[in-house]
């Protein structure tokens, strides 16, 4: 079937080749955990690596292997490092804004000319994750992190040293290329070691970091630009990226399930951190010291010497799936409308309240605090609602081994929480315009920004979690597709919103934005109602394609 190869890897229920034979995996699991027997592990490895059966009925015997062998401390460390990495993309975008005017003066260019570097950054922010997200699914997270941060470091050093407009544009594109993939890869890392029962809380932690950066970055950027000059912002980013790599390279393990399974398969040399390489060598030495033992350490998966070409077409085709396409369309409009509140914020605050650059930057903090609060609350609600839905259909949610998504109403478990957040966000979008037009005290717009941030972060976290639930074997690919759609529409919205404000005024502009979101909101109900049917049709389609290929 044409295009089958590109499509079938996106299917969450398909069977994939395990990285090592099931017997070897079972033996190393027995050595590591001393929990499951050899026969149980054979069974379990097929289930864990193929993603075929995650749900345990209350009356069934608990035979599946654990979804991840990483310890709780390692999981916390992975979350912290993933949050650290995802900060770089939004942080690099917003820390640059206070430097636009000084850069324009330094180069003798107009503000509009320098603003083109912001546009280029947004374009690459949408496109680059398509390559790196899918690549991380193929060769692992660690090599892609190293590649992207090498690009990012070089770009920041170049930006701090360059002295002409053309170099600024090229290096800003490279800076965005290196940093923007971290958001898609971050969601993929969370999917590697979490089950659907607890995935919501982990992914919302990553999303909260993305939401918080727009508040802190402009303040820090303004301080650096005012006291140390605009080049200091790029030196700051260089130092921060260097600190990340110093921690990441020796300590963070490979998590991609295509490479290490549930963590019980040794990573290839290029994917191994210093600590994990030492641990696996020690384990091999322990096995060799007991020659009478039948246990054997599985062999690492062989990675091709050449870097595979990322399947960008497969990532784009995900948007054509009925359920995924509708959700991405709604959320892209939703994000666009909310970001349209932030674009004119500096001008509004400065004009109405005569604030300086630092005071204007501080006004972003309520939005960020609201975003973090909303993401935190929704993360806990996602896990709670998942358990409630599981119990309602007579299954016990398994946070260690996972649940079978083919038979589970995951759309219901996730999308039931969308409506309160959507209503809150739409109300704040509409109210924002009229509050600005009325010229009230500063407290009113700050309160609107807080609840607007809370209303936005919830649905973004919900949809990101649901997309990973639908494509657990390709989380990097599906996350990059979502990033493409929302970044594209957000760029369009931010480009035209000021023209609409000039023509209609703030009140009617944001009333229009709120109505757009309301008009698209039935997409949520449609996917909740027919999503399980479309998901099963997709599964059957990929199974047929797999049969034809074999």
**Digit-coded pLDDT (tens) for 480-534:** 888 888 888 877 887 788 888 889 999 999 999 999 999 999 999 999 999 999 9
Contact yes or no for 415/527 (Cβ under 8 A): yes
- Tens of each residue's pLDDT in the chain, 550 residues: 444 444 443 334 433 333 333 433 433 333 344 333 334 334 433 433 433 344 444 444 445 578 888 988 999 999 999 999 999 988 998 899 888 888 988 999 888 788 888 888 888 888 888 889 888 888 999 999 999 999 999 999 999 999 999 999 999 999 999 998 888 888 889 889 888 888 887 888 787 777 777 778 888 888 888 889 999 999 999 999 999 999 999 999 999 988 998 888 889 888 889 888 888 788 777 766 766 666 666 767 776 666 677 778 888 888 889 999 999 999 999 988 887 887 777 778 878 888 876 787 788 888 888 988 888 899 889 989 988 998 888 877 765 555 567 788 999 999 999 999 999 999 999 999 999 888 888 899 999 999 998 998 888 889 888 988 888 777 888 888 888 888 888 778 877 888 888 899 999 999 999 999 999 999 999 999 999 999 988 888 888 877 776 5
What secondary structure does DSSP assign to 172-196, as a single string? Answer: HHHHHHHHHHHHHHHHHHHHHH--T
Tokens of 482: 């979502």
Contact yes or no for 85/243 (Cβ under 8 A): no
CA angle 455, 210, 353 (to 5 degrees): 65
Contact yes or no for 476/184 (Cβ under 8 A): yes
Tokens of 328: 């991405």
The helix/strand/coil state of 328 is: helix
Contact yes or no for 337/513 (Cβ under 8 A): yes
Q: Distance between CA 52 and CA 322 in Å, rounded? A: 23
**Digit-coded pLDDT (tens) for 202-246:** 888 787 777 777 778 888 888 888 889 999 999 999 999 999 999
Q: Distance between CA 497 and CA 433 in Å, rounded? A: 12
Q: Distance between CA 71 and CA 545 in Å, rounded? A: 38
């Amino acid at each position: 079937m044409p295009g089958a190869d590109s499509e079938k890897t996106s299917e969450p229920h398909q069977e994939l080749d395990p990285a090592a034979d099931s017997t070897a995996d079972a033996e190393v699991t027995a050595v590591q955990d001393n929990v499951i027997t050899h026969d149980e592990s054979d069974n379990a490895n097929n289930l864990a690596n193929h993603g075929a059966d995650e749900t345990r009925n209350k009356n069934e015997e608990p035979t599946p292997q654990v979804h991840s062998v990483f310890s709780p401390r390692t999981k916390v460390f992975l979350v912290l490092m993933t949050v650290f990495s995802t900060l770089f993309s939004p942080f690099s975008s917003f820390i640059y804004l206070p430097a636009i005017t000084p850069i324009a003066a330094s180069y003798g260019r107009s503000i509009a000319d320098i603003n083109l570097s912001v546009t280029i950054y947004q374009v690459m922010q949408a496109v680059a994750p398509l390559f790196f997200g899918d690549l991380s699914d193929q060769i692992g997270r660690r090599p892609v992190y190293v590649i992207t941060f090498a690009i990012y470091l070089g770009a920041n050093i170049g930006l701090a040293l360059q002295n002409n407009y053309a170099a600024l544009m090229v290096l800003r594109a490279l800076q965005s290329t290196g940093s923007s993939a971290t958001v898609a890869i971050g969601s993929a890392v969370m999917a590697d070691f979490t089950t659907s029962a607890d995935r919501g809380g982990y992914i919302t932690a990553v999303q909260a970091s993305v939401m918080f950066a727009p508040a802190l970055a402009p303040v820090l950027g303004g301080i650096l630009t005012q006291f140390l000059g605009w080049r200091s912002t790029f030196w700051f980013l260089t130092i921060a990226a260097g600190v990340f790599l110093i921690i990441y390279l020796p300590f963070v393990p490979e998590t991609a399930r295509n490479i290490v399974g549930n963590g019980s398969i040794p990573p290839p040399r290029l994917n191994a951190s210093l600590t994990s390489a030492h641990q696996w060598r020690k384990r091999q030495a322990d096995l060799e010291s007991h020659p009478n033992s039948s246990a054997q350490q599985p062999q690492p998966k062989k990675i091709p010497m050449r870097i595979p070409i990322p399947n960008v077409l497969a990532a784009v085709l995900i948007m054509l799936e009925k359920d995924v396409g509708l959700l991405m369309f709604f959320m892209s409009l939703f994000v666009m409308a909310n970001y349209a509140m932030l674009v004119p914020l500096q001008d509004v605050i400065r004009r109405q309240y005569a604030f300086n650059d630092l005071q204007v930057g501080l006004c972003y903090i309520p939005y960020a605090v609201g975003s973090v609060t909303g993401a935190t609350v929704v993360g806990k609600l996602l896990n709670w609602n998942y358990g409630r839905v599981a119990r309602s259909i007579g299954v016990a949610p398994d946070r260690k081994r996972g649940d079978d998504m083919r038979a589970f109403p995951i759309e219901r478990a996730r999308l039931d929480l969308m409506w309160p957040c959507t209503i809150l966000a739409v109300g704040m979008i509409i109210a924002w315009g009229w509050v600005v037009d009325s010229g009230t005290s500063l407290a009113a717009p700050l309160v609107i920004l807080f609840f607007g941030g809370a209303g936005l972060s919830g649905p973004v976290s919900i949809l990101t979690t649901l997309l990973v639930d639908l494509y657990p074997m390709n989380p990097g690919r599906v996350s990059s597709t979502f990033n493409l759609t929302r970044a594209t529409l957000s760029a369009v919205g931010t480009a035209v919103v000021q023209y609409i404000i000039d023509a209609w005024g703030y009140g009617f502009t944001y009333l229009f934005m709120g109505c757009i979101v309301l008009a698209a909101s039935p997409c949520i109900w449609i996917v909740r109602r027919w999503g399980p049917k479309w998901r099963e049709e997709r599964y059957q389609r990929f199974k047929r394609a797999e049969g034809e290929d074999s």
